[in-house]
Amino acid sequence: MDWQAIALSLRLATVTTAILLLVGLPIAYWLTFSPRRWKFLVEAVVALPLVLPPTVLGFYVLIAIGPRSPIGALYSRLTGGLLPFSFEGLLLASVLYSLPFMVQPVAAAFAAVDRKFLEASWCLGIAPGATFRRVLVPLALPGIATGAILSFAHTLGEFGVVLMVGGNIAGVTRTVSISIYDQVQSLDYAAASETSLFLLAVSFLVLALTYALQRRILSVWPAN
């Protein structure tokens, strides 16, 4: 089994999920509570990775982070490195690719929190930011856990985006799914089957954990 690729995929999925928690929660908050009429446009953009072929998303990300683009130029000026075919570039693409898997469950969980709890907090003098942290996030925790686990599992299994943006550099951008593809191309079916089984088992465990967690957390805090 390609342990290097497995370790890389786990690292990518973990960091992606962490970044998505930081980025996705504010987006979900804005989508849930903003009175702006045009927020459906943002909702559509966030959901795009659900329907777009990963190659299309990967292609645009590749163009956007190239050394001639503003993002790529800024990055190389700040770090001296290049984003395409690097772990950091892959990370950026993964965050975009898994964004709806974080934002949608979290936004649904935020919307399900009774607004009076937020209002009660505001009336006690607690600012909106602190209310978010002390009331909304704890009450939406099952939804946030679901978003995190789905993002993690989704990143673990991504293929098209990685191929477009990251390429196939061992230890840098060769993830589990790329490794399986390589093994099949070189007719090493035994290795491919081993790695596939590993990915299947991890994915199943992660999803089983999600649903188990959700039920337990929900029974600890009933809606009242």
Query: Which residues are at the interface with another protein (CB under 8 A)?
Result: 114, 116-117, 119-127, 134-135, 138-139, 221-224
Q: In the bound complex, what is the minimum distance in angstroms from residue 121's beta carbon to another protein? A: 7
CB 55 within 8 A of CB 159: no
Please say which residue, 3 or 122, places its beta carbon nearer to another protein: 122
- 30 with 219: CB under 8 angstroms? no
CB nearer another protein, residue 7 or residue 119: 119
Task: Provide the phi-psi class of 167: left if phi over 0, else alpha when psi is between -120 and 50, else beta.
Answer: left
140 versus 164: smaller Cβ distance to another protein = 140
Residue length of the chain: 224
Give the shortest CB-141-to-another protein separation in angstroms: 8
Minimum CB distance to another protein smaller for 32 or for 173? 32
**What is the nearest approach in angstroms of another protein to the Cβ of residue 152?**
24
Per-residue tokens: 156: 């673990």
Minimal distance in Å, beta carbon 220 to another protein? 9
Find the Cα–Cα–Cα–Cα dihedral 91, 92, 94, 97, rounded to 10°: 180
- CB-neighbour burial class of residue 38 (10 A; exposed 0-12, middle 13-18, buried 19+): exposed
